[in-house]
A and B are shown apart, each in its own frame.
Chain A
Amino acid sequence: MNDEAFSTWLQAVSPVPAGGPAAVEAVLVAKAGYHCNAEYPHKFKLGAAPAGLSYPEATVKGMQVTAERSVLRIPVVAQSAGKATVAGTLQFSVCNEERCLVEKRELSLNLEVK
């Protein structure tokens, strides 16, 4: 998702093994003139888990925030091999010198579980 102030996306961090824990990452990048808001309680609310996946936490907090780029690690557990889509809503904030923007974005990522 792109905006004049930020970009957000979900990304895989490593191959997702069937039968074991794994994680995906929600990434927030602040664009020129903006910075990630270190004061804001960023979180990712997961949607319903698709067949073959489960989520240890329905809402994931604890984003690692730096001014330009922030990352939230989202644990997932894959039960079986195949394709699955992780989806949810990232709540986040970026600021410039005058104001902060508080936003929500629906994000999704297609995973291949091996």
Chain B
Amino acid sequence: MQRRSTLLRRIILLRHGHANDHADDFARTLSVGGRAAASSAGERIASAGWRPAYVLSSSAPRALTTAELAAKAAGFAGRIVAEKSLYLASHTQCLAVLRQVPKSAASVLLVAHNPGLTQLARDLCGHDGDLSPAEFASVELELDAWSEL
């Protein structure tokens, strides 16, 4: 009999922190408050016992810095993968990126943008309302692999 490798896999969806205005939207950077909120989100993720095993981010500086600060505060010291396709991605694009997470990772932190991230948080996590800056939603799913999402 073949043994199945179904695991409870944790998804944490984190919206980037508050960002400063900039003529080029992609180049916007986190405000001082946004940086503090990103670290605080990471601390709350760690407090919940959800240490991420894999970290994905939009490549936009405001998202990537949020990912770095939150991951550090959550106890993650590995590689952060900043996907260009996650910049202002729709929920289906976010889902497509999540499906490519290595099977070996039991949990993933995804940092991206509204409205796509909020839509995904509603669909996957049953989250009510819009995700505020540096707010996260999470769900645990029984999956053989991330490609099953």
Residues of A in contact with B (beta carbons under 8 Å apart): 39, 93, 95, 97-104
Residues of B in contact with A (beta carbons under 8 Å apart): 59, 61, 64, 67-68, 77, 79-85
Centre residue among A97, A103, A104 by max chain B CB count within 10 A: A104
- CB pair A101–B61 under 8 Å, yes or no, is no
Query: What residues of chain A lie closer than 8 Å to B79, measured between beta carbons?
Result: 101-103
Query: What residues of chain B lie closer than 8 Å to A39, measured between beta carbons?
Result: 61
Query: What residues of chain A lie closer than 8 Å to B80, measured between beta carbons?
Result: 101-103
- CB pair B77–A104 under 8 Å, yes or no, is yes
Contact of A101 among B77, B82, B84 (CB under 8 A): B82
Query: What residues of chain B lie closer than 8 Å to A102, measured between beta carbons?
Result: 64, 67-68, 79-82
Distance in Å: Cβ of A12 to nearest Cβ of chain B: 28
Query: What residues of chain A lie closer than 8 Å to B85, measured between beta carbons?
Result: 98
- CB pair B77–A99 under 8 Å, yes or no, is no
